[in-house]
Amino acid sequence: MVVVYIGIGANLGDPRAAVMAAIDECRAIERTQLSGVSSLYRSAPIDSSGPDYVNAVVEAETALTPLELLASLQQIEARHGRLRPYPNAPRSLDLDVLMYDQQIIDLPDLTVPHPRMHERSFVLMPLLELAPRVEIPGRGIAEHWLASVADQAIERLPA
């Protein structure tokens, strides 16, 4: 089993309901057990348009390979009507493998750690809530990146 972090976000339809449903569906991924769920956060789109996003991060232990985990996450997205009409398009649901243990993975369909996670407050804030001392492979201690995203508006939502 390896520890993984999965980013969850949505900004179309009822994004809060979509994120909560995705968290529940992550609990059902085979050979995977959730070990932590962050609070929900609202953030403005970055390099995109549309309404604000609702985001969260889950921590899990999995026996799936990185590509098997990605396939499971893409199945959840498909069930929620995820379309990919153009890069950074608004989303009914977005699930990203942020980290897979401390591995650095560079495959045509998967790059881990997520290449922009250290540049996004909507990833760093919920990630650090779950793992305050986590290190991003190849980037260092996640907390050290907070100052560089301080200008990105983010708000923790009430439970």
Q: Which residues are designated catalytic? A: 82, 91, 94, 96
Return the number of other C-beta atoms located less than 10 Å from residue 136's C-beta: 22
21 burial type by CB count under 10 A (0-12 exposed, 13-18 middle, 19+ buried): middle
Length of the chain, in residues: 159
Q: How far apart are CA 105 and CA 102, in angstroms?
A: 10
- Smallest CA-to-CA distance from 145 within 95, 107, 98, 108 is with 98
Nearest of 52, 26, 49, 51 to residue 41 by alpha carbon: 52
